[in-house]
Amino acid sequence: MAVLHPRRVAWEGARIFVSAATTDAYWWLSDTLGHYLGIMYQLQLCETRLRLQAEAEAEAVYEEAGAWRARLDELLDTRPAAAAIITQMISETTSRLP
């Protein structure tokens, strides 16, 4: 079994989740986040999507990625076992991106 470094998982998750927020992959990711991590993460992804759609600035993408990295870091600090499911979500979401 591969060793999952929590900070790397948080960074990759943030990068992919924000990338997916404005694509058709959003719908799958939103449902999956809600199912495995909870409704608050699903709502936060919705907020990310709305913000990125409203602000066409590259800076918003970086700010959202930073916010997601912090969220996922905190989640992995409190629930280290979530690294495996987040890694699976990263892989599946990546395959669904255009």
CA atoms of 47 and 2, how far apart (whole Å): 33
DSSP state of 81: T
Q: Identify whether 80 is part of a domain.
A: yes
Q: Identify whether 12 is part of a domain.
A: no
Q: Identify whether 54 is part of a domain.
A: yes
Which pLDDT score is estimated for 2?
A: 58
Q: Under a CB-based contact definition with an 8 Å cutoff, are residues 91 and 27 in contact? A: no
Q: Identify whether 79 is part of a domain.
A: yes
Which pLDDT score is estimated for 3?
A: 53
Which pLDDT score is estimated for 1?
A: 42
Residue 71 confidence (pLDDT) above 70? yes
Q: Under a CB-based contact definition with an 8 Å cutoff, are residues 79 and 3 in contact? A: no
Query: Number of structural domains, the chain?
Result: 1
Q: Identify whether 3 is part of a domain.
A: no
Q: Which range marks the domain in which residue 60 is found?
A: 26-96
Written as six digits, the tokens of 2 are 């591969």
Which pLDDT score is estimated for 55?
A: 84
Which pLDDT score is estimated for 57?
A: 77
Q: Identify whether 32 is part of a domain.
A: yes
DSSP 51-96: HHHH---HHHHHHHHHHHHHHHHHHHHH-TTHHHHHHHHHHHHHHH
Q: What are 19-28's pLDDT values in tens digits?
A: 999 999 999 9
Where residue 58 falls among pLDDT bands split at 50, 70, 90? confident
